[in-house]
């Protein structure tokens, strides 16, 4: 049996666990190709009104896989860490795909809720394994192997950096468009470190990010993302806010940015924001205010949608990096 997994949304967080689990049970895992303009166009056609750009891209990936496998894996993660919630659009994505895309193979959609401490989600995967006909002992062994794979992945993200780790595992798909930028990849620019904020499914997707990380790397700049931090570290910083952010991704973004500023680890911050993401409007204000307090670290929000042109992105990046170089 072939089980398909879209290269979108929580793929960039949990793929090592998912792949190890299904492979150990004897299933072939099929992953959609890196995003292209066609992926986005197909997703836009299937989208319902008012969904954000990442959801449109994710629908395009499901459409690509519709005829490629016997099952499609679209888990419903209600919560990823104790005391937090996932984005409502991520929770509802499975229903969006079912309701808008025709002729899909059967969907595997276990419900995983990690809000309560001690709940690892293993029960949901155990029931999923049973529904596929696997025996209890085989499922338990597959779960143990999956936990080891996920643990190694998390260690790699911190020790080796997200780009190196994801590339090594074949989870990235950037192009070489970074060479189109001119004039900032020499001299002082090479001494700069830029913190790139955003959700993993935006930063590491070629279409959603317009190859932002690759463009910066092509200039010889050092880049970092908040995936370099452990959850405990970003949670500690997010807890300094006078109010609680109950969406996990919001806590990670604010906590990670505050850590960069506290440790003076970056020369500037770029925040990649997909159009129609409501929480990002608030988070952008929080981070920019903190950046002004921290010796005026330059901060640039970069909003992208399906109509964003490459030339506009390049012009803004070049201007931002020129400013950083002059300040160095």
The CA-CA-CA angle for residues 178, 183, 189, to 5°, reads 85
Please write the tens of the pLDDT for every residue from 45-82. Answer: 999 888 889 999 999 999 999 988 999 999 999 988 88
Instruction: Kindly state the average pLDDT of the residues 220-235.
Output: 86
The pLDDT, as a whole number, for residue 223 is 87
Q: Name the pLDDT band for 184 (thresholds 50, 70, 90).
A: very low
Which long-range CB contacts under 8 A does 230-234 form with residues at least 24 apart?
230/154, 230/158, 231/81, 233/259, 234/259
220, 284, 308 from 279: Cα distances, Å: 32, 9, 20
The pLDDT, as a whole number, for residue 228 is 82
What rounded mean pLDDT belongs to the chain? 87
Is the predicted pLDDT of residue 181 greater than 50, yes or no?
Answer: no
Is the predicted pLDDT of residue 151 greater than 60, yes or no?
Answer: yes
The pLDDT, as a whole number, for residue 59 is 97
Distance CA 6, CA 155 (A): 24
Is the predicted pLDDT of residue 177 greater than 70, yes or no?
Answer: no
Is the predicted pLDDT of residue 256 greater than 50, yes or no?
Answer: yes
Please write the tens of the pLDDT for every residue from 77-96. Answer: 998 888 888 888 899 999 99
The pLDDT, as a whole number, for residue 174 is 61
The pLDDT, as a whole number, for residue 65 is 95
Would you give the distance in Å from CA 207 to the centre of its chain? 13
Angle, in degrees to the nearest 10, between helices 136-159 and 122-131: 130
Instruction: Kindly state the average pLDDT of the residues 11-34.
Output: 96
- Are 73 and 5 contacting, i.e. CB atoms less than 8 angstroms apart? yes
The pLDDT, as a whole number, for residue 141 is 97
Instruction: Kindly state the average pLDDT of the residues 319-327.
Output: 88
Please write the tens of the pLDDT for every residue from 277-310. Answer: 778 888 999 999 998 887 778 999 998 887 777 7
Distance CA 274, CA 280 (A): 8
Is the predicted pLDDT of residue 262 greater than 80, yes or no?
Answer: yes
Q: Name the percent of the chain lying above pLDDT 70.
A: 94
């Amino acid at each position: 049996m072939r089980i398909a997994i879209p290269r979108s949304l929580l793929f960039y967080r949990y793929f090592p666990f998912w792949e190890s689990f299904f492979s150990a049970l004897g299933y072939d895992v099929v992953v959609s190709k890196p995003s292209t303009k066609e992926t986005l166009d197909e997703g836009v056609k299937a989208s319902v009104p008012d969904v954000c750009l990442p959801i449109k891209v994710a629908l395009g990936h499901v459409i690509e896989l519709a005829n490629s496998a016997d099952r499609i894996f679209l888990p419903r993660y209600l919560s990823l860490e104790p005391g937090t919630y996932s984005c409502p659009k991520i929770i509802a994505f499975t229903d969006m795909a079912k309701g808008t895309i025709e002729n899909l193979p059967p969907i595997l959609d276990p419900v995983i809720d990690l809000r309560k401490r001690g709940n690892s989600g293993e029960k949901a995967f155990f029931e999923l394994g049973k529904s596929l006909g696997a025996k209890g002992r085989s499922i338990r062994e597959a779960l143990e192997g999956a936990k080891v794979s996920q643990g190694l992945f998390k260690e790699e993200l911190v020790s080796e950096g997200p780009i190196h780790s994801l590339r090594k595992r074949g989870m990235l798909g950037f192009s070489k468009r970074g060479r189109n930028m001119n004039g900032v990849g020499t001299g002082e620019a090479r001494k700069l470190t830029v913190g790139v904020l955003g959700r993993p499914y935006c930063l590491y997707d070629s279409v959603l990010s317009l190859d932002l990380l690759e463009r910066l790397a092509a200039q010889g700049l050092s880049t970092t993302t908040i995936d370099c931090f452990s959850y405990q570290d970003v949670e500690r910083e997010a807890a300094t806010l006078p109010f609680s952010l109950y969406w996990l991704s919001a806590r990670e973004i604010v906590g990670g940015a505050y850590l960069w500023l506290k440790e003076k680890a970056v020369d500037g911050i770029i925040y990649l924001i997909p159009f129609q993401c409501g929480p990002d409007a608030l988070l952008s204000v929080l981070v920019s205010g903190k950046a002004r307090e921290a010796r005026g670290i330059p901060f640039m929000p970069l909003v992208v949608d399906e109509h964003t042109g490459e030339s506009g992105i390049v012009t803004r990046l070049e201007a931002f990096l020129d400013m950083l170089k002059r300040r160095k």
